[in-house]
Homo-oligomer: A and B are copies of this chain.
């Protein structure tokens, strides 16, 4: 391993700072995020190990971690696949996110400084601009940034952890809703302004929470209507 070749013995390269399993994890997340490994892709331990120049053991660990986080599915004696999210799961996760983000936004509201609000508006302005030549990916990225600014000062890190874990599951596995229902984007940025306004005005936290939640739910509803026009729910 690394054969005892006489490298710079004194050079304390902290390159090895991360363990191999961590590198494998990061590498896989990267690939999944950029859809090089698309949902459904078969992950073969030995292949990945070879590509990363390590044994299967760390790769295995990385994959199990991804499984725990819901990014890959794993079947005994069969192997791992990049997770696929069906409509039902998508709906559930979005609904959950609506709840979590709504709460986080409300908890953060009183801690947002004027500077934060300015920054939020700035991001939203860029969202408006991006409407011109619409690209779902760009829009989604900015959209997430907008909301991140709003709930960043939330005093409950645990809540934020759950939010970002859920986004990781979703954002990386499925194209943004806006790719399916571009029309939703316009409404969305309008609602953003409304939320910032509520916060600025010191509105009751319950109102802020509801607005944030509804905002997210509306995106989901738009998607469902678009995909399954018949259904009620």
Contacts and interface: CB of A to CB of B under 8 A. Distances in A.
A159 B96 contact: yes
A13 interface: no
A contact face: mostly helix, strand, loop, or mixed: helix
Given A19-B76, A68-B65, A99-B103, A93 B162 contact: no
Contact of A92 (B68, B69, B93, B157): B157
A144 interface: no
Nearest to A233: B155
B89 A158 contact: yes
A160 to B, nearest CB: 10
A213 to B, nearest CB: 9
Contacts of A95: 156, 158-159
Contact of A64 (B65, B93, B100, B103): B65
A191 interface: no
A181 to B, nearest CB: 21
A61 B99 CA distance: 32
A159 B92 contact: yes
A159 B61 contact: no
A162 to B, nearest CB: 6
B64 A158 contact: no
A92 B156 contact: yes
Contacts of A69: 68
Interface string A51-87: 0000001001100110011000000100000000000
Contacts of A100: 99-100
B65 A156 contact: no
A206 B210 CA distance: 10
B19 A159 contact: no
Contacts of A76: 19
Given A19-B76, A68-B68, A100-B99, A92 B158 contact: yes
A204 to B, nearest CB: 12
Nearest to A106: B99
Contacts of A64: 61, 64-65
Interface of A: 19, 57, 60-61, 64-65, 68-69, 76, 89, 92-93, 95-96, 99-100, 103, 156-159, 162, 206, 210
Which 3 A-B pairs give the minimum distances between C-beta atoms? A68-B68, A92-B158, A99-B103
